[in-house]
Structure 1
Amino acid sequence: MPIQTARAFVAWTQPRLAPSAGSAFALGAQAGDGTLVGVVLISWPTAEVFDDGDTAEVLALATDGTPDAGRTLLSAAWTAVREMGYRRLIAYTRIEESGTDLWDAGFRVVPRPLGWHTAGRAEDVARVLWAARAFGGGR
């Protein structure tokens, strides 16, 4: 789907999210009647420690509350980046968010790597790092 459409949907449903303009691609989910119910924006990692050529990042996930839309979009994003040759897809949640859609899509909480921190971000809040990983292969 067009990145601008996805960004507009994020702004409409999740005004506190402000995904960067550097999105690589976007996926959308529709209801049976064609109504857009969710989007996910994917890009290259924003943190240098993850910019290894094997990792892509979920910049934003937004839904209108339709059940399973988030899980479906995350699963589709993971499939798409694997087909592109990436071995890992990372995402962040705020500490108070459950991450249920991420868990259901196969992501797992991972420890923060050495040298990774959120200092200097415009919005310095505690975050949880999640990752879906493929084993073997590589780009």
Structure 2
Amino acid sequence: MLEICPVSLKEANAFVAENHRHHKPVTGHKFSIACADGEKIVGVAIVGRPVSRHLDDGWTLEVNRLCTDGTRNACSMLYAAAWRAVRAMGYRKLITYILDTEPGTSLRAAGWRCVGQAGGLRWTGKRRPEVDLCPAQMKLRWEIGEEAALEEMGAQ
């Protein structure tokens, strides 16, 4: 039986360092949560401010990292729990990005919607890292917001 539990950034980053396919740990966050199967953590979600300064409006947060060990339903459980927590904190929208080769099944199952391609293949500008920090691949932005919450309430 899976359950959501609190986790420190240090613990969440350790899980990401050990299990994430293509991203490294993050430097900061608003909060982190874990999904556990009994005593063992099987996934984590790290939520912080949006990386894009254009989306950092004070009402939006971003799932900066979501990582599991492959346990069935852990991803969708973490995405749904992250939205419930964000909404309870008074934020209006939660966003995340996935590679365009990933299907987004867990996001869809948690009530998120794809809003299209985002960004480019690589970081650009003066602050571009010398080495790519993630795959040089297009990303898809997904979001969930108050309108999704209203639809969810209407369905109940």
CA RMSD of superposed structures (Å): 1.5
**Following TM superposition, by how much is the alpha carbon of 1:15 offset from its aligned partner in structure 2, in angstroms?**
4.5
Question: 2:94 matched to which residue of 1?
Answer: 89
Structure number, greater radius of gyration: 2
Superposition TM-score, scaled by structure 1 size: 0.87
Question: 2:61 matched to which residue of 1?
Answer: 56
Question: 1:126 matched to which residue of 2?
Answer: 138
Structure 1 residue 117 corresponds to structure 2 residue 123: no
Residue 119 of structure 2 contacts residue 138 of structure 2 at CA under 8 Å; is this kept in 1?
A: no
Structure 1 residue 4 corresponds to structure 2 residue 16: no
CA distance in 2, matches of 1:17, 1:58: 13
Secondary structure at the aligned position of 2:22 is classed as coil
Give the total of aligned pairs. 131
Secondary structure at the aligned position of 1:92 is classed as strand
Question: 1:28 matched to which residue of 2?
Answer: 34
**Following TM superposition, by how much is the alpha carbon of 1:90 offset from its aligned partner in structure 2, in angstroms?**
0.1
1:34-76 CA-to-partner distances (Å, cap 9, x unmatched) read: 1110000000001011000110000111111111001101100
Q: Which aligned segments of 4 or more residues in structure 1 are displaced greater than 6 angstroms?
A: none
Residue 19 of structure 1 contacts residue 59 of structure 1 at CA under 8 Å; is this kept in 2?
A: no
Superposition TM-score, scaled by structure 2 size: 0.78
